[in-house]
Amino acid sequence: MNLNPVVLSIPIFFGLMSIELVFEAITKKRTYRLNDAITNINLGALSQISGVFTKIVTIGIYTVVFELFAITKIPVNWISFIVLFFLYDLCFYWSHRMAHEISLFWGGHVVHHQSEDFNLTVALRQSSTAFIWSFPFYLPLAFAGFDPLQFVTVGAFNLLYQFWIHTEHIGKIGRLESVLNTPSHHRVHHGRDPKYIDKNYAGVFIIWDRMFGTFKEEEERPTYGITKPVNSWNPVYANFSHYIDLYHYVKKARSIGDASRMLFKQPGWLPDYLGGVQTPSAVSPNFHKYNADVSHLWAKVYIFIQFVVLMLVTSYFLFNNSELDSLTKSLFLIWIVWSSINFGLLFESRKKRLQIIEALRLIAIPIGIFELIAMGYSFPFWAIYAGIVFSILSVFSSIWIFKKMLSD
DSSP result, 127-176: -SSHHHHHGGGGHHHHHHT--HHHHHHHHHHHHHHTTTTS-SS----GGG
Domain that holds residue 206: 5-212
Q: Same domain, yes or no, for 12 and 143?
A: yes
Sign of the torsion formed by the C-alpha atoms of 326, 330, 332 and 336 = positive
**8-12, 90-94, 402-406: least confidently modelled range:** 402-406
- With respect to residue 32, please indicate whether it lies within any of the assigned structural domains: yes
- With respect to residue 226, please indicate whether it lies within any of the assigned structural domains: no
Total number of domains constituting the chain: 2
Residue 341: pLDDT above 60?
yes
- With respect to residue 358, please indicate whether it lies within any of the assigned structural domains: yes
Give the whole-angstrom CA distance, residue 3 versus residue 318: 10
Q: Same domain, yes or no, for 206 and 311?
A: no
Q: Same domain, yes or no, for 51 and 191?
A: yes
- With respect to residue 30, please indicate whether it lies within any of the assigned structural domains: yes
Confidence at residue 245, expressed as pLDDT on a 0 to 100 scale: 96
Of the candidates 186, 212, 238, which is a domain's last residue? 212
Residue 265: pLDDT above 70?
yes
Q: Same domain, yes or no, for 200 and 320?
A: no
Q: How far is CA 78 from the centre of its chain?
A: 30
Whether the CB-CB separation of 154 and 74 falls below 8 Å is answered with: no
Q: Is 311 helix (H, G, I), strand (E, B) or coil?
A: helix
Residue 187: pLDDT above 60?
yes
Whether the CB-CB separation of 333 and 51 falls below 8 Å is answered with: no
Closest CA to 185 of 207, 160, 152: 207
Confidence at residue 199, expressed as pLDDT on a 0 to 100 scale: 97
Confidence at residue 380, expressed as pLDDT on a 0 to 100 scale: 64
Q: Same domain, yes or no, for 177 and 310?
A: no
Q: Is 194 helix (H, G, I), strand (E, B) or coil?
A: coil
Of the candidates 170, 186, 212, which is a domain's last residue? 212
Confidence at residue 327, expressed as pLDDT on a 0 to 100 scale: 81
pLDDT band at residue 405 using 50, 70 and 90 as cut-offs: low
Q: Specify the higher pLDDT residue, 4 or 70.
A: 70
- With respect to residue 71, please indicate whether it lies within any of the assigned structural domains: yes
- With respect to residue 291, please indicate whether it lies within any of the assigned structural domains: no
Of the candidates 212, 228, 248, which is a domain's last residue? 212
Rounded (10°) CA dihedral 19, 316, 237, 108: 80
Taking residue 309's Cβ as centre, other Cβ atoms within 10 Å add up to 17
Q: Same domain, yes or no, for 193 and 320?
A: no
- With respect to residue 274, please indicate whether it lies within any of the assigned structural domains: no
Q: Same domain, yes or no, for 203 and 82?
A: yes
Q: Same domain, yes or no, for 53 and 174?
A: yes
Question: Each residue of 143-159: pLDDT tens digit?
Answer: 999 999 999 999 999 99
Residue 391: pLDDT above 80?
no
- With respect to residue 269, please indicate whether it lies within any of the assigned structural domains: no
Buried b (16+ CB within 10 A) or exposed e, 18-35: eebbeebeeeeeebebeb
Residue 2: pLDDT above 60?
no
Whether the CB-CB separation of 221 and 82 falls below 8 Å is answered with: no
The DSSP code for 322 is G
Q: Same domain, yes or no, for 178 and 61?
A: yes
**46-60, 93-107, 219-233, 353-367: least confidently modelled range:** 353-367
The kind and range of the H/E element at 209 are helix 207-212
Q: Is 127 helix (H, G, I), strand (E, B) or coil?
A: coil
